[in-house]
Structure 1
């Protein structure tokens, strides 16, 4: 019987992270008039492009989080298809998601060096996921 593994749930959570980033970027701007810098739902991409500081970084984190998704999704699927040890796959997938959460927090907080290190760690974990089923 097929079931969702922890790794598959991690794919779902990773797919939600860009939405979290968008929410962070827009936080506090809803309800304010557009002429006062409030969120512009008529032209959201242009509004986000005009933002600076933590809003701009949250938007950049959103883009990077979207960019990381295909490799993560593919790696999890490949690992499942190759019969990777489920416990290890689940652990690595969970670690990847946690690293990406820390990445977002560090990006928004302007911790550039730490953010880059966490990005690298997440990439290595994702690469490990891709290859753990290889024999």
Structure 2
């Protein structure tokens, strides 16, 4: 992540927005791969629970994306509140987003080991921001 990534609050907020939208993107992919129809919208959770293959894995990526989102958002906000340099917050936030995208793709491709590694490294991003805040306090 080089010069293309501005170290600004706007950039950080965009990373937060994209991270917040990712679960819905994976839900869309799950529905797309499962050939979701208008009538299926009567009970979409039941429909998605019955999917298999790539659609099921995309749905699982969606569900898991919601699990790590609160700690990511909290870590970014706390890092900003405690004046962690924006260059650090921006890089870590975007690294998290990139890793979450790769995680979802690895999940859909059924690459279990890579998926687990990406999840762990992605989860380390918010923990790292908390660590920096603690060290600066």
TM-score when scaled to structure 1? 0.88
Structure 1, unmatched stretches of 5+, are 35-39
Per the TM alignment, residue 11 of structure 1 is displaced from its structure 2 partner at its CA by: 0.7
Q: RMSD value over aligned CA atoms?
A: 1.6
Q: Which residue of 2 aligns with 1:107?
A: 107
| C-alpha distance in structure 1 between counterparts of 2:96 and 2:123, whole Å | 8
Partner residue in 1 for 2:48: 48
Distance 1:55 1:130 in 2: 34
Q: Aligned residue for 2:16? A: 11
Aligned pairs for 1:73-112 (under 5 A) are 73-112=73-112
Aligned to 2:132: 132
- Gaps (5+ residues) in structure 2? 1-7
Q: Which has the higher helix share?
A: 2
Residue 89 of structure 1 contacts residue 132 of structure 1 at CA under 8 Å; is this kept in 2? no
Alpha-carbon deviations, 1:73-130, whole Å to 9, x = none? 0000010011001101101100000000000000000000000000000111221122
Instruction: Provide the rounded CA distance (Å) in 2 between the counterparts of 1:128 and 1:6.
Output: 19
Task: Tell me if 1:64 matches 2:64.
Answer: yes
Summarize deviations over 1:47-89 as a string: whole Å, max 9, x none. 0010011111111100000111100000000100110011011
* TM-score normalised by structure 2 residue count: 0.87
State the alpha-carbon separation in 1 of the partners of residues 47 and 36 from structure 2: 12
Distance 2:91 2:122 in 1: 13
Aligned residues: 127
The residue aligned with 1:117 is 117
Contact 1:80–1:133 (CA under 8 A) maintained in structure 2: no
